[in-house]
């Protein structure tokens, strides 16, 4: 569809929308870290899935149409992988802090490139292979350097959960890519929220138990869920005006902002080894996403690939 805006203007608009979405995601991670001191990680995940499910229900009511269920198996896989990514991400946030957990989680684009080569017959580029290696080294450094561990250079549950969240997020991105050609973003996000709600409900009420939320905690949990939805919608909108590589590269602002906010607001520790690991992670992902500049394809915001696994 032709618009009245030049390609450069559209690209700048998309970039700034994704920058804003990155701020939303970073603030959400820091708020989740703050809440995790009183609320279990699985309960925070349940709240996020519940808010997403309600929001998508309202969207479909407003649109007067139901979700597109032509690919039930893929939608189920999207939900399962995305749910696993969120559950492990929130465990990592609770145990590692917002900065290290987000750095590990945002290695997912490189895992997505690896899975795409295995299941979508997409050959990863040379930079993607090198970037995956660099990011893997960085992830190991972040994991080993985290202050959670009583023994130096010995990974714990939080670090392993962070790595798992990135890998599961990459698998979710791969499924989303196979769905995005003919399935709208609302349906994909609904599968994610709905499956997540089904899985997290027994975990919260049958395993860890529900922690009562007073007025302030309840409001903070609501804000956390809304920040997540807002970040995803802004990212989807922004991806309608820029390339996939450029948009994904811009999202690397999230771990940087989350770490800065975690250190400055929550006074999380920042060591030399963890900082070096974070730089390697971000640098490896950016290298893996690098591609020669090509023509901009104007996408519909309803079908653009979203950062829906977080």
- Residues 88-132 pLDDT 10s: 999 999 988 888 899 889 888 778 878 877 777 777 667 777 877
> Within the chain, what is the greatest distance between any pair of CA atoms?
60
Mean of all residue pLDDT scores within the chain: 81
Q: For residue range 291-307, what is the model confidence (pLDDT) as tens digits? A: 644 444 444 444 344 35
- Residues 221 and 35: beta-carbon distance below 8 Å: yes
Nearest to 255 by CA among 243, 244, 240, 270: 270
Task: Pick the closest to residue 193 from 44, 26, 55 (CA basis).
Answer: 55
Name the residue ranges covered by the structural domains of the chain.
7-289
- How many angstroms separate the CA atoms of 248 and 257, rounded? 15
- Mean pLDDT over residues 4-17, rounded? 71
Q: Residue 277 pLDDT more than 90?
A: no
Closest-CA residue to 254 (of 36, 93, 125): 93
| pLDDT above 80 for 141 | no
SS3 of residue 150 by DSSP: coil
* Percent share of the chain, pLDDT over 70: 82
User: How far apart are alpha carbons 166 and 252 in whole angstroms?
Assistant: 13
0.85 exceeded by pTM = no
How far apart are alpha carbons 278 and 182 in whole angstroms?
A: 36
**pLDDT class for 49, splitting at 50, 70, 90?**
very high
Pick the range with the lowest mean pLDDT from 125-134, 140-149, 262-271.
140-149
pLDDT tens for each residue of 215-239:
899 999 999 999 998 888 887 777 6
Nearest to 166 by CA among 122, 132, 198, 194: 132
Determine the pLDDT at residue 165.
Answer: 94
Torsion of CA 58, 59, 64, 69, to 10 degrees: -110
What pLDDT shows up at residue 124?
A: 67
Give percent above pLDDT 90 in the chain. 36
């Amino acid at each position: 569809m032709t618009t009245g805006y030049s390609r450069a203007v559209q690209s700048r608009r998309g970039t700034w929308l994704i920058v804003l979405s990155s701020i939303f995601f970073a603030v959400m991670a820091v708020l989740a870290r703050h809440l995790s001191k009183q609320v279990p990680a699985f309960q925070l995940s349940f709240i996020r899935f519940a808010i997403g499910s309600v929001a998508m229900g309202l969207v479909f009511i407003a649109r007067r149409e139901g979700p597109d269920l032509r690919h039930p198996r893929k939608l189920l896989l999207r939900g399962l992988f995305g749910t696993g990514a969120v559950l492990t991400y929130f465990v990592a946030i609770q145990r590692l802090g917002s900065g290290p957990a987000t750095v590990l989680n945002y290695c997912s684009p490189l895992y997505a490139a690896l899975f795409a080569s295995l299941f979508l017959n997409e050959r990863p580029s040379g930079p993607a292979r090198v970037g995956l290696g660099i990011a893997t080294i960085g992830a190991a450094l972040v994991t080993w350097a985290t202050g959670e561990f009583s023994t130096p250079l010995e990974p714990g549950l939080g670090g392993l959960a962070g790595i798992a969240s990135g890998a599961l997020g990459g698998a979710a991105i791969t499924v989303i890519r196979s769905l995005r050609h003919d399935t709208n973003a609302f349906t994909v996000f609904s599968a994610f929220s709905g499956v997540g709600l089904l899985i997290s409900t027994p975990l919260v009420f049958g395993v860890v138990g529900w922690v009562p939320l007073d007025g302030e905690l309840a409001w903070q949990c609501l804000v956390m869920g809304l920040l997540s939805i807002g970040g995803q919608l802004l990212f989807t909108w922004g991806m309608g005006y820029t390339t996939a590589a450029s948009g994904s590269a811009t999202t690397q602002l999230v771990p940087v902002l989350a770490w800065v906010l975690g250190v400055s607001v929550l006074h999380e520790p920042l060591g030399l080894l963890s900082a070096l690991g974070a730089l390697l992670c971000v640098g490896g992902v950016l290298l893996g996403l690098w591609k020669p500049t090509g023509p901009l394809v104007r996408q519909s915001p309803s079908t653009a690939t979203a950062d829906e696994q977080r």
